[in-house]
Chains A and B, each alone.
Chain A
Amino acid sequence: MLGISTRGLKGGECLCPIVSFGCQCQSSNQLLFSSNPNYGLSKTSRKLKVSRFKARFWESIRSGFLKNNSTQVMEAPPDLEEEEEEPMPEEFVLIEKTQPDGVIEQIIFSSGGDVNVYELQTLCDKVGWPRRPLSKLAAALKNSYLVATLHSIRKSPGSEGNEQRTLIGMARATSDHAFNATIWDVLVDPSYQGQGLGKALVEKVVRALLQKDIGNISLFADSQVVDFYRNLGFEPDPEGIKGMFWHPKY
């Protein structure tokens, strides 16, 4: 399995999209859902610690692009000051690059959660996750507190605004809206892996949760991705506390 995944699934099912209460747009055979807009933005500022992390983070992303001269890494959203952190925008460009053929590709992060369930299933297929009923995927998304996505937007030169938008990453978190949140299902399209996008996804989800004052952010990591999450600030078995599963299928 190539996808970076946190353990949210047991045997047969893939966790996926965000679903909202009431879709705004529906075309004939596509379902578009947006996530539960149930969160207010916290005014709590995280001060220096988070901005220090951000600086290091953007450095690590930038260093991954030294080979490709036409790649431009967008700076952190300009409203983030050193001393005071403004609420993270819901959607912004993470990376923009111009390909040799002139096509401009943007990687867009969004926590607003407009996820096409079929697109999500395609992504789950790409990372090798077992299939799950679409209705269940939709419900799981709807019941998630936060769903973050990465989309690739490709614009050909002179294409007059015709753009190709593809879902290339997703991460979601469930929560009680007050104390605890758990991150599930972090996945990145295999052809986009190795660029720091998974890190970006998780970092943004963590930041969004912190801004909503959720103090306890947890997840379950397969052994091969424990270090990945350690580097993002997660600690295994803090104070000896162990993750346990009921009759796991192992």
Chain B
Amino acid sequence: MVSLVRGANYAIMAASFCPSLPHHFKPTPIVKFPQSSFSFKVFSSQSSPADETPTRVGFLGLGIMGSPMAQNLIKAGCDVTVWNRTKSKCDPLIDLGAKYKPSPGEVAASCDVTFAMLADPESALIVACGEDGAARGMSPGKGYVDVSTVDGPTSKLINGQIKETGALFLEAPVSGSKKPAEDGQLIFLTAGDKSLYEKVAPYLDIMGKSRFYLGDVGNGAAMKLVVNMIMGSMMTSFAEGLLLGEKVGLDPSVVVEVISQGAISAPMFALKGPSMVQSKYPTAFPLKHQQKDMRLALGLAESVSQSTPMAAAANELYKVAKSHGLSDSDFSAVIEALKVKLKD
């Protein structure tokens, strides 16, 4: 892959001075900021020229998703600095060569581009804008890429705080759970600063199999919520079918097989069906997060005055499953919500 620019800065900074911005980096910087001279080098399996200064990549949040994503960056040769609320989660990454800083702000300050992968809007907001948050370490020339799944308003709030520091912002929630994260097969649904998108594209390509740029901040969040809303409803329908099949005397494994042969054959069904049939729900995507996404999707629908009976019905089942203590199980555990049991 090609080295993009030498000694360039984020020309977007010029936005406050001149309205017309280049959309790509030019070899000669337009406005020079002393502390922002650096070059971008795209890391890949091909070796990099020794004289290039590598981009320093920060990674905040090392949960189910963040950990494998950061690992893929490290394995690809990137210079990675990590932070996680529970420090011990950083250890495997540090063993692989990552650096560590004790707060999001310090990570951001020591890096050129910082990724964040948090579990929900509340955490995303705290990590970005809280005390010692990433925004503290942001400055012109830097970029913040939030790959958490949040609602539009939260994303816009984070965008505002980051942009205020002079840095760039990209929302970039992903489609794909644990295994795609491990395999570098995620789908990025990005929106925000186009130039930051172009800059981090090589990193997205390490962590993922495809990426979309969807325009203004909020569009990436919305797309992610729509996708997960459909997925959440599909999972509950599948669960209903498996349970009905079982109750009327069919072999649920055969139900899964029949589905895999027809028009509604989906990877999710083939993957989760067999374990659901055995009442096993190994966590790839925690049920509490799926329910969070349903709730946010319902909020989005409400904000545009759209009736969503399917998502509403599905959401109820996720809520019931949560009340049965299944928050940390895989979201396929929602099938348990259909099996009614009386309290002892």
Q: Do A and B come from one complex?
A: no
